[in-house]
Amino acid sequence: MKRVLKILGATVLVLLLAAGAFYGWATVTTQGILEQTFTAHEATFPVPFPLTEAELEGLRHARQRELQANGVDLTGVVTADGSPPDLLADVDVNALALEQAIERGRHLVTARYACAECHGNDLSGGVMVDDPAMGQLLGPNITSGGRTRDYTVTDWDHIVRHGILPGGRPAAMPSEDFVRMSDRELSDIIAYVRAQPPVDNVVPGVRLGPVGTILVALGKLPLSASNIQDHQGAHEVEPPSSEPTAEFGQHLVAVCTGCHRADLSGGPIAAGPPDWLPAANLTPHADGLAGWDYDDFAAAMRRGVRPDGSALRAPMTNMRRYAEAMTEVEMQALWAYISTVPAQPRGR
Question: Does 261 reside within a domain?
Answer: yes
At 321, the pLDDT band (50, 70, 90 cuts) reads: very high
Rounded Cα gap, residues 152 and 175, in angstroms = 18
Where does 223-293 have alpha helices with state H? 224-227, 246-252, 257-260
Question: Does 76 reside within a domain?
Answer: no
Same domain as 223, residue 258: no
At 242-255, the pLDDT tens digits run 999 999 999 999 99
Same domain as 279, residue 170: no
CATH of the domain at 152: 1.10.760.10
The set of residues, in sequence order, having a beta carbon less than 8 Å from that of 110 and lying 6+ positions away, is 116, 322, 325
Question: Does 10 reside within a domain?
Answer: no
Check if the beta carbon of residue 130 is closer than 8 Å to that of residue 150: no
Count how many domains the chain has.
2
323 closest CA partner among 256, 261, 278: 256
Question: Does 102 reside within a domain?
Answer: yes
243 closest CA partner among 105, 336, 338: 336
Please give the order of strands across the beta sheet that includes 207-208: 126-131, 135-139, 207-208
Strand (E) or helix (H) holding 207: strand 207-208
* DSSP state at residue 264: S
pLDDT at 130: 87
Strand (E) or helix (H) holding 44: none
Question: Does 307 reside within a domain?
Answer: yes
Same domain as 148, residue 286: no
Task: Report helix, strand or coil for 248.
Answer: helix
The set of residues, in sequence order, having a beta carbon less than 8 Å from that of 8 and lying 6+ positions away, is none
Same domain as 311, residue 281: yes
* DSSP state at residue 49: P
Residue 63: pLDDT over 70: yes
At 140-172, the pLDDT tens digits run 999 999 999 999 999 999 999 999 999 999 999
DSSP 98-151: HHHHHHHHHHIIIIIS-THHHH-TTSS-EEEEEETTTEEEEE---STTTTTTT-
Same domain as 105, residue 167: yes
Same domain as 134, residue 62: yes
- Count the neighbouring beta carbons within 10 Å of the beta carbon of residue 337: 19
* DSSP state at residue 271: T
pLDDT at 157: 98
Same domain as 39, residue 177: yes
Same domain as 109, residue 135: yes
Question: Does 282 reside within a domain?
Answer: yes
pLDDT at 61: 87
Residue range(s) defining the domain that contains residue 215: 26-68+90-239
Q: Which residues of 119-145 are buried (b: 16+ CB within 10 A; e: fewer)?
A: bbeebbbbebbebeebbbbbbbbbbbb
Same domain as 170, residue 121: yes
Least confident of 14-28, 41-55, 147-161, 320-334: 14-28
Task: Report helix, strand or coil for 206.
Answer: coil
Task: Report helix, strand or coil for 305.
Answer: strand
* DSSP state at residue 236: P
At 178-201, the pLDDT tens digits run 999 999 999 999 999 999 999 999
- Count the neighbouring beta carbons within 10 Å of the beta carbon of residue 8: 10
Same domain as 339, residue 235: no
What's the sign of the alpha-carbon dihedral 92, 98, 99, 100? Answer: positive
Same domain as 164, residue 53: yes
Question: Does 348 reside within a domain?
Answer: no
Question: Does 256 reside within a domain?
Answer: yes
Same domain as 171, residue 120: yes
